[in-house]
Every structure is written in structure tokens, then in C-alpha cells.
Structure 1
Amino acid sequence: MMESLTLQLDGLRVSRETNAKLSQFADLFRKWAKVINLVAPSTAGDLWSRHIADSAQLFALHPYPVTWVDLGSGGGFPGIITGILLSELGDGWVHLIESNHKKASFLRNAILQTGARASVHAVRIEEAPKLVPRCDAISARALADLSALCEFSKPWVDANPGIRLFLHKGRDYAREVNDAHRSWSFDLVEHASQIERESVILEILNLTHKR
């Protein structure tokens, strides 16, 4: 039975067509997850809430037709979900950065099956700015600590100082923020997760490296 994100997230309403694409992605994900490790096995059973709805929170916070870079896209969270939701707008794009070639193959298949507004770059994050020199927003989920994510993001921030970062973080996020402030200056908005009680989405603006 198809589930609906409209029942799970405040501020997000999707069409029946988009909901069908999300359901199609979920079916494809389950098939591929039997062969390759796309997410932690302990969380795979709660795919809609733990991963799809959790990822959709980013689009709910920034529902505009902009160009995204999704770092370490893995099983498609949040990048593929953002790309599917962008298809409802008919504009915007997500560049999925995933160096694991098996996962990159899954992501390409998911794009073909769902019509997500996205493309895959099977390279290391450090190499990605050469292929995608500019973007408006950056996302990452379960990838690295905040200091490392700031470092990864720097080439895109240098190209577009108005860029926004949307980063999923767990209960230890305050320590990561304090650690990052040693080397980085930034404005921070903390959005409480609608899915995980102790999790947040950190929205970072005006990121600069301290001299």
C-alpha cells in the first residue's frame, strides 16, 4: 500500500504522481538493497519514515528550483528524494556525488526509473568541484563530521558565497558545531527533525574559513 508523505511532514504536500515516483523508488531500493549495502540493515525496514520522509525534510525547508550538490549520496538519501520532489517543480537539479561505483549504478537506475531531476558523478568529493563548479545548496546525510563537511563545501562556497548547507545531524551535533567553530565562521539555523526526536537539520549560511 502506497504511503503518503503528506501525513508525515508539516509544510510538504506532494501530488499523486510524485508520491507514485517515491513509491517506485522505494520498491527499487528494496530490490537493490538485497544485493548491495545501501543503508544500515537495522534501518532498512523503516524505509519510508527513517529514510524517505527524513530526506524530504530538506526540500520542505528549501522548496525552490535550485541546483543542489548532494555529498556521499549512497542509497539516494537525501539526493534522489530531492530530485524526485524537484520534478514536481519542473526545474532545479541535484548533482549526486558518490564514489562507490555499485551505489552509483543504483542511483543512475533510480533516476531512470523515477525521472528524478538529478545526475550522478562517480568521483571522490574532492574531485567533484571540477565537474560541478557552482551550486546553490549542499546536502549531506550520515557522511562526516561538520568540520569535514565545511572543508568539502569550501570550493562551492568560494564560487557562490550565498550558498546554503543543509546537513542531517544526530544527538551529538552540538559538539560538532563547537569543534567546527574553531576553524570556521558561519551563521547557523537549527531545524528540529520531524522524524527523529534527537536529530536536527543544520542550515548553514555565510560559511568562511578563519584565517
Structure 2
Amino acid sequence: MSKDNRAEALALAPSLEAIERELVIYEDLLRRWQAKINLVAPNSLEATWIRHFADSAQVFEAAPVATVWADIGSGAGFPGLVTALLLKGRDGAAVHLIESDQRKAAFLRAVSRETGAPVEVHAERIERALPPLAGKIQAVSARALAPLARLVEMAAGPLKNGAKGVFLKGEEWRDELTAAERVGNFTYETIQSRTHPRARLILVHSPSEANFDRTD
């Protein structure tokens, strides 16, 4: 791990300082498991602190009041496991990690055990795991899973129940946003990513809900 990479990540996302010890454990597990299963793009591994940890921290910082989250298509735990670590110690905190790949689900459980992250891993498909959580969760997140319109469709139940959607999107975010605005009756907001100049966080909520509580 590059110390410069780590320092830059902490500068980009100061909230990570409180969980730096847990992230060191997380990175070590990520590197060890990556040798056995494909968790992240190999060329992103050396930039884990920025590409994965700092990038994920932005999601929590966009809706810091939420204590119960669902992270869909969790993969290696970005952003959901980082959100859980940032919520660690808060009363009632829970992050539901939904990942149908059994090997990735095992990895998520291993990181949770080693770091004490308040998560529940659902090793099943999103369309089965998410609907029962619709009335329980306060926010739903995803990264690199599907186009925004599809994410909104999948998360429509929780969103209609007042949950906030926080989705990390890349360079094609404008086109994805245009397509998503045709799906249901939701309000959209964008936040500039701090880890990629052409990326955005797309915030989604029901028009009846109050504005997002977030830190900029």
C-alpha cells in the first residue's frame, strides 16, 4: 500500500480517519481474498484507499443522518461496508449488504467479523432480499451495479417508503440521469465526486420527503 495514496484518501474524505485501523484490516483482507476471487479490478488494488475507501465514504457523507441502509450488489463491500464502519458505534446502526455471489458474500462476512462492522449479509438476489426491507431502511446505495434507471426501479419500494437513494455514477451520469427521470415520480440531486472529476453522486428521493441531510 502506498502511504501517499492513504494520506490523499484521508484528505479527500476526513471521515475515514475515525476508522483508519479497521480500513487497514479491510485492505489486508481484500488483497488476500483478491488472489483467490475477483473482488475488484486488479488495476484498482494499488489505489484502494482512494478508488474504494474514499469513494465510498462520500456515500455516507451524502446522507449521514441515516442509520439503517441497504447496499445492493455489494460485491467487495463498496460502498456498503465502508458505510457500516462509519456508522460503527451508533445506536441502531445496520447496513444490509445484498450480494448474490456466495464467495463475495463470504468475503463480506469475513471483513465484518474482523472489523466489527454492523452489517447483515443477504446472499440472495436483490429482487428477493430488498422488498422485505422496504419499510425498515432509511437509505439505499449502489456502485458500479447497473444504469441509474434500473437502480431506481430496483429500489422503488424503499424510495417510495421514504428511503434516500445514494448512487455513485461515472462519466455517463448525465445520460443515465436523463433516462432515470422517466422512471417513477422521484426527485434527483447531484453532487460532484471528490475522487473523480467527471463522476457524480446521484441522490434520489420521493418528492414528499425533505431535502437530504448531508455534509459537503
Structure-1-length-normalised TM-score: 0.89
> Corresponding residue for 2:125?
124
CA distance in 2, matches of 1:103, 1:131: 22
CA distance in 2, matches of 1:154, 1:50: 28
CA distance in 2, matches of 1:96, 1:200: 22
CA distance in 2, matches of 1:152, 1:6: 32
The alignment partner of 2:205 has SS state of: strand
Task: Give the drift of 1:131.
Answer: 4.5
Residue segments in structure 1 that go unaligned for 5+ positions in a row:
none
By relative contact order (CA 8 Å, sep 6+), the higher-ranking structure is 2
TM-aligned CA distance change 1:207 to 1:150, over 3 Å: farther
Q: 1:154 aligns with which of 156, 175, 184?
A: 156
> 1:99 touches 1:121 (CA, 8 Å); kept in 2?
yes
Task: Give the drift of 1:130.
Answer: 4.9
Alignment of 1:114-193 (within 5 A): 114-133=115-134, 134-158=136-160, 160=161, 162-193=162-193
Deviates more, 1:21-30 or 1:88-97: 88-97
TM-aligned CA distance change 1:165 to 1:200, over 3 Å: same
Q: Which aligned segments of 4 or more residues in structure 1 are displaced greater than 4 angstroms?
A: none
> Corresponding residue for 1:72?
73
Alignment of 1:32-47 (within 5 A): 32-47=33-48
> 1:65 touches 1:93 (CA, 8 Å); kept in 2?
no
> 1:184 touches 1:207 (CA, 8 Å); kept in 2?
no
The reply on whether 1:62 has 2:63 as its aligned counterpart is: yes
> 2:100 touches 2:123 (CA, 8 Å); kept in 1?
yes
Alignment of 1:80-99 (within 5 A): 80-99=81-100
Structure-2-length-normalised TM-score: 0.87
The alignment covers a number of residue pairs equal to 203
RMSD over aligned CA atoms reads: 1.9
Residue segments in structure 2 that go unaligned for 5+ positions in a row:
209-216
> 1:77 touches 1:141 (CA, 8 Å); kept in 2?
yes
Identical positions, percent: 36
Task: Give the drift of 1:182.
Answer: 2.2
The alignment partner of 1:167 has SS state of: strand
The reply on whether 1:7 has 2:11 as its aligned counterpart is: yes
